[in-house]
Structure 1
């Protein structure tokens, strides 16, 4: 499989992370600029995700997009917003990562 769709998928993840972080900042400060920026980033993320789905199976691309985004957002919440990461949250992230690995392996086995 070509690498180009995976670059679109990673760009979609990055846009989602930026958008969700802007959402958190908007929730704290109530800025219209952050709100508009958040909508733009989420829209860009979905556009890039849809572009990636032209070549990557839907289950694989969505699972990867959501899990990488969730892991990054959990880290950003912990590092910059003082949110906790306890054992249950870490276990949940580990299960999600294992699920993505299995979904990706299953998607490649069918091709």
Structure 2
């Protein structure tokens, strides 16, 4: 499988992380420009996700996007917003990562 769809997927994850992080800032009374930037990042994330889905199966794409985004956002919340990551949350994220590995192991590209 070509590398390009995976680059789209990683870019979708990155823009999702930025959008959700800005969403946290917006919830703390930021201005309109931050709100518009948040919407732009989330919209771009979905666009890039759709581009990745042209060549990567939907289950693989979505599971990878959501799990990488969730773990990164949880770390950002812990590091910058004083949110906790307790043992159950860490276990849940580990189970999600294991699930993504299993989904990716069984997924075939759209072209195959």
**TM-score band w.r.t. shorter chain:** over 0.9
Higher fraction of helix: 1
TM-score (norm 1): 0.96
Give the Cα–Cα distance (whole angstroms) in 2 for the partners of residues 71 and 33 of structure 1: 27
Aligned counterpart, 1:52? 52
Distance apart, 1:29 and its partner CA: 2.2
Flag structure 1 segments of 5+ consecutive residues without an equivalent: none
Aligned counterpart, 1:23? 23
Distance apart, 1:75 and its partner CA: 0.2
Give the Cα–Cα distance (whole angstroms) in 1 for the partners of residues 65 and 76 of structure 2: 16
Describe how 1:90-109 pairs up with structure 2 within 5 A: 90-108=90-108
TM-score (norm 2): 0.95
> Aligned residue pairs: how many?
110
Give the Cα–Cα distance (whole angstroms) in 2 for the partners of residues 50 and 90 of structure 1: 29
- 1:89 maps onto 2:58 in alignment: no
Report the RMSD for the aligned CA atoms in angstroms: 1.2
> 3-state SS of the aligned residue for 2:28?
helix
Runs of 4+ in 1 over 6 A off after TM superposition: none
Give the Cα–Cα distance (whole angstroms) in 2 for the partners of residues 27 and 71 of structure 1: 20
